[in-house]
Structure 1
Amino acid sequence: MRNLNTSVLGSVALLILFLLLWQWGPGLLGMPEFVMPQLSRVAQESLVMWQSSGLLQHTLITAFEIIVGFGLGALLGVAIGVSLGLSPSAEAMLSPYILALQIAPKVAFAPLFVMWLGYTIYPKILIAILIVFFPVMINVLSAIRTVDPDMINLVRTMNASRWQIFRLVEFPSAMAALFSGLRIASTLAVIGVTVGELVGGNQGLGFLLVDAEGQGNTAGVFVAIVMLTLIGVLAYGAVVWAEKRVLHYLPKAMLSTQ
Structure 2
Amino acid sequence: MTKSHEKVKEADLVSKEHEEYLRKIKSTKRRIVITRILILVSFIALWQIAANQKWIDPFLTSSPARVIKSFVSLYEDGSLFKHIGVTCYETILGFSLGTILGVLIAIILWWSPMISKILDPYLVVLNALPKVALAPIIIFWIGNGMPAIIVIALLISVITTIIGVLSGFNEIDKEKIMLMNTFRASKIQILRYLIFPYSIPIFISALKINVGLSWVGVIMGEFLVAKNGLGFLIVYGGQVAQLDMVMMSIVILSIIAFIMYEVVSLVEKRLVKDKS
What TM-score do you get using the length of structure 2 for normalisation?
Answer: 0.86
SS of the residue 2:60 aligns to: coil
Match for residue 234 of structure 1?
259
Please tell me the root mean square deviation across aligned C-alpha atoms, in Å.
Answer: 1.6
| Residue equivalent to 2:133 | 108
The structure-2 alpha-carbon separation of the partners of 1:106 and 1:6, relative to structure 1 and needing over 3 Å to count, comes to same
Aligned to 1:87: 112
Contact kept? 1:110, 1:200, Cα under 8 Å:
no
Q: How many pairs does the alignment contain?
A: 251
Residue matched to 2:11? none
Deviations along 1:125-150, one digit per CA (max 9) or x if unpaired, are 01111111122222211111011122
- Map of 1:224 onto structure 2: 249
Q: CA deviation at 1:220?
A: 0.5
Shift of 1:29: 5.0
Q: TM-score, normalised by structure 1?
A: 0.92
How big is the shift at 1:53? 6.3
Distance 1:105-1:53 versus aligned 2 partners, 3 A rule: farther
CA deviations on 1:58-91 (whole Å, 9 max, x unpaired) are 1000000000000000011111222223333212
The question of whether the paired residues in 2 share the 8 Å contact of 1:84 and 1:141 is answered with yes
Counting helix residues as a fraction of each chain, which structure ranks higher?
2
For residues 241 and 102 of structure 2, the distance between their equivalents in structure 1, rounded to whole angstroms, comes to 40
Separation in 2, partners of 1:211, 1:4: 41
Query: Offset at 1:13?
Result: 1.0
Alignment of 1:138-157 (within 5 A): 138-157=163-182
Q: Is 2:108 the counterpart of 1:73?
A: no
> 1:143-182, aligned counterparts within 5 Å?
143-182=168-207
Residue 213 of structure 1 deviates from its aligned partner by: 0.8
Shift of 1:154: 3.0
Give the AA of the match of 2:86: I
How far, CA to CA, are the matches of 1:165 and 1:139 in structure 2?
19
**Structure 1 residue 27 corresponds to structure 2 residue 52:** yes
Q: Which runs of 5+ in 2 are unaligned?
A: 1-25
The equivalent of 2:236 in structure 1 is 211
Give a deviation string over 1:97-140, Cα, whole Å, max 9, x none.
22222222222222222222222111110111111112222221
Structure 2 CA distance, aligned partners of 1:35 and 1:27? 13
Unpaired runs of 5+ residues, structure 1, are 252-258
Aligned counterparts of 2:138 and 2:187: Cα–Cα separation in 1: 40
